[in-house]
A = this chain, B = another copy of it.
Amino acid sequence: MTEARRRRKKNRVTSLDIAHRAGVSQATVSRVLAGSPLVNPETRRRVEQAVRELNYKVDRHASSLRTQRAGTLALLLFEDPTPDDSHINPFFLSMLGSITRACARHGHDLLVSFQQLSDDWHADYEDSMKADGLILLGYGDYLTYRAKLETLVAQGTHFVRWGQVEPGQPGVSIGCDNHAGGRLAGQHLLACGRRQVAFLGDASSRFPEFQARYQGCDAALREAGLGLSPALQADADSTEEAGFKATRELLARGQPFDAIFAASDLIAIGAIHALKEAGLRVPDDVSVVGFDGTAMARLADPPLTTVVQDTSRAGELLVSTLLQLVRDQPVQSVMLPPTLEIRASSMR
């Protein structure tokens, strides 16, 4: 055993040590540290001094075992279909950042874990008392997803999910108003004088977020007597490669289009590459609008117009809602309004 480790183990300070040094009982030490008002100010001072002098920290396990609260939330990040380190969707990494910060603000720790949406989730953080509740993050086939959400509800697990908000869903969801976001994109493309808008992304009910974006854009176009055409829709999951391929496929169809609304920024960036490769100019020949508001949208060439999801508010809302749930307070699903950030990729 190293010297440092021996020191650490031997020196392990407990609340009893603090009690002795401050001349009070263990119970009083606990009260001071819990911020109880039932403590004489002078007593509190002495205890706090002893805590400082001995660098005492409450043992989390002892505390949690007694109170049956972990003071910790767990974030499950689903990463189908790209289990490659470098390919995690930057939007979700941004969400991870804001969730981490929100947890810290609320005085909770955050356990982070990556899961395959298609596999069995290791959602037993609450059963083993490691976390008071779960935050579920990541899109994927909703057919798979929904069944697992129902299992969680049946087990009485506390969880909040990021995703499309729809009536009758199991559990509580926080999500972007994707329909409104699609509408913003459609209206903007109309204002740019575009008439034939292509959509890149799976628009079926298996991907409710993408579907709502599709429908929102479609609705905006319909109000102008237009609409999205199935002939100008191509599936793509949220990667640059998929956006690249889908755009090539679209071009191969020969059906003319003057704008692309991509279901995510990554898809949009892939689309821009494919358009350039085909000798088309962005935005002169084709306007491109993405979705998410990731940092890379600004770095794209040309800079990408994108529907921005408010990740800061999203993280805060996910955490605060989950904590309310844990405390048995009433909660509700919330849709956050997106905004449009207009850049050169769409404006002629």
Cβ 8 A contact of A112, one of B4, B55, B100? B100
Q: How far is the CB of A72 from chain B (nearest CB, A)?
A: 8
Q: Does A57 reach chain B (CB closer than 8 Å)? A: yes
Kindly report which residue of chain B lies nearest to residue A109, judged by CB atoms: B111
> 8 Å CB contacts to B: which residues of A82-112?
85-88, 90, 93-94, 96-98, 100-101, 104, 109-112
A10 to chain B, nearest CB (A): 10
CB within 8 Å of B: which A22-80 residues: 55, 57-62, 64-65, 70, 72
What's the least CB distance linking A176 to chain B, in Å? Answer: 15
B127 and A55 contact, CB distance less than 8 A: yes
Which candidate, A177-185, A229-237, A292-300, is the interface stretch facing chain B?
Answer: A292-300
Residue of chain B at shortest CB distance from A156: B4
Instruction: Check if B60 sits within 8 Å of A128, measured CB to CB.
Output: yes
Size category of the binding interface on chain A: 35 or more
Pair A113/B110 contact, Cβ less than 8 Å: yes
What's the dominant secondary structure at chain A's contact region? helix
**Contact indicator per residue, chain A 294-336, by CB within 8 Å of chain B (1) or not (0):** 1110111100000000011001000000000000100000000
Complex CA distance for A263 and B96, rounded to whole angstroms: 26
Cβ-defined contact, B65 with A61, below 8 A: yes
Q: Complex Cα distance A2/B126, Å?
A: 16
| Min CB gap A225→B, angstroms | 36
Contact present for B295 and A86 (CB under 8 Å): yes
Contacts A57-B127, A110-B113, A269-B299: A7 and B94 contacting too (C-beta < 8 A)? no
Pairwise interchain contact B156-A60, C-beta atoms closer than 8 A: no
Instruction: Report how far A105 CA is from B298 CA in the complex, Å.
Output: 36
Q: A273 to chain B: closest CB distance in Å?
A: 8
Shortest Cβ distance from residue A256 to the other chain B in the assembled complex, whole angstroms: 25
A and B contact pairs by CB, cutoff 8 A, 6 listed: A3-B156, A4-B156, A72-B111, A85-B94, A104-B113, A296-B299
Q: What is A's interface to B at a CB cutoff of 8 Å? A: 1-5, 7-8, 55, 57-62, 64-65, 70, 72, 85-88, 90, 93-94, 96-98, 100-101, 104, 109-114, 124, 126-130, 153, 155-156, 240, 269, 273, 276, 293-296, 298-301, 311-312, 315, 328
Given contacts A60-B128, A85-B311, A90-B93, could you give 17 more A-B pairs where the C-beta distance is less than 8 Å?
A2-B156, A7-B156, A55-B127, A57-B127, A85-B97, A85-B101, A86-B97, A86-B295, A88-B93, A93-B96, A96-B96, A100-B114, A104-B113, A109-B111, A110-B112, A273-B299, A301-B301
